Amino acid sequence: MVDEFRAAFQQLIDASVAADPGQFPSAVHRVLVLASQIPASERELALEALAPLLTGDHAAPGITADLCVVAGALVETGTDPGPAGPEVLRRLRAIGRGAIVFARAWQRTGGGEPPDPDSVTAADENRVATDLGADAPGATMCWWTIARHALAAKTMLTRSTVRSHVRRDPTLHAELVAVANQLGDHLPDLQEVRALLRMAEAGSALVLDRHSGRAFRVLFDGIGDNFQLHTLLADALIGPNGMGLAGDPPDPRWVRAFRDGDPDPAARTVRGWWNLVAHDGTWVWNEGVPAEIPTLEGEHVLVLDEQPYPRSWNAHRRHPLVTGWLEVEGELPPEEADLWWKRVAPAEPAIPDATDDSTPIPEPVLAEEATGADRVRGFLAPEPEPRPQRPEPQAAPAPAPEPPAARPDPPRPAPPAAEPPARPETGTGLPPLPPGVSNSSAWGPTWR
């Protein structure tokens, strides 16, 4: 089986470089069918070999986009992304710039919603050409391929190693956020990319417990919202199996659901422990994300106060394909904790003044159960299917400290096949090149 996979993968590479419409679709199909039947080490070697092709320098733009989706499909089988992960993100940055040029030209030439990327036509290219002139073909090609690049990047960002890479490269992070912000309204997959980039912005916090006066530094990754942070903090800090803070430890089934397990229907509702407060006294909402917790001297500072009213939420991860974890790096010595307490706002009344208009509105007592649309979309099966509805995640801004070595991500089910290349139909059911759009292999972002 390994030899068959290697032969199919070599056929994929050869067909990609040759832009061969007769061989490329069948090679994609065969690689993805065999991928789940070989050891992960073989898939990792394949991804490593694929990485240079993802730069866009060796294949036509449509084929490069499909190779990015193939790389994402291999990652969804539990393969470590290796160098292919960052390469997919860099490709999204380059193609995203051209797609922004197309979207802006579309607004300047009559407005309205831009066409679905998979349905771009010669008429669309001609429309933006009245504004872009000779740059219209390149911008149109970027728009045609942007959805596939966004899908692949979204999958790569579910892996902690890829998020760590982005965290170490603030320029790449900022440029990807800009692409996601400017195109997210048109492409929901980029909204998910933006949420996952936001996840990469915070990996540690200083946590001060008002009741005991103790302070801890915690490290974490894969935390999609403060519901998850709140629950994993309780697991790490409360009781004899934690750091000994007072209270009832969380149900282990809640903890598993927020780490890497599926929600347990028999343990769906989490009961809260604290009111999360920033160092300046403002409330930290459970609906928010760790990156939004205000900082003091570069530290996200979180104070655990008494709950003003009971809180509850559902035990599930906002990003089900992302493994979450949190651990206590250490407790601060009492003298160091005292210094931090002197810089923290005093406790507010447990029940805020009802006449104070600045008092925040309480969060809902029970969050809605996440739907399947919150999941990173799976890859299409070898036979074409309608594009599924994509999720609508959260927002994004600025990088933060580096967490420790990433926890391994759990294996994923075998994926189906990728969306295909920039070539006419070959009887495989793969989509053709958009009518009238050039298939020149030289096409691509002019700034490369």
* CA distances, 330 to each of 213, 243, 304, 343 (Å): 15, 10, 17, 20
Give 219-265 pLDDT, tens digit per residue.
999 999 999 999 999 999 999 999 999 999 999 999 999 999 999 99
**Burial class for 415, CB neighbours closer than 10 Å (0-12, 13-18, 19+):** buried
Chain mean position to CA 137: 30
What pLDDT was estimated at residue 1?
Answer: 86
Give 192-228 pLDDT, tens digit per residue.
999 999 999 999 999 999 999 999 999 999 999 999 9
**How many other CB atoms are there within 10 angstroms of residue 34's CB atom?**
20
307 closest CA partner among 333, 340, 281, 272: 272
What pLDDT was estimated at residue 381?
Answer: 31
pTM for the full model? Answer: 0.77
For residue 386, the 8-state DSSP code is: P
What is the C-alpha separation between 180 and 300, in angstroms, rounded?
Answer: 25
What is the C-alpha separation between 245 and 260, in angstroms, rounded?
Answer: 25
Better-predicted residue by pLDDT, 284 or 378: 284
Angle between the N-to-C axes of helices 160-168 and 84-108, in degrees from 0 to 180, rounded to the nearest 10: 70
Give 84-118 pLDDT, tens digit per residue.
999 999 999 999 999 999 999 999 999 999 999 98
Give 12-21 pLDDT, tens digit per residue.
998 888 887 7
pLDDT band at 377 (very low <50, low <70, confident <90, very high): very low
Q: Which helix (H) or strand (E) holds 92?
A: helix 84-108
Give 291-310 pLDDT, tens digit per residue.
999 999 999 999 999 999 99
Residues forming beta bridges with residue 215, ordered by sequence position: 208
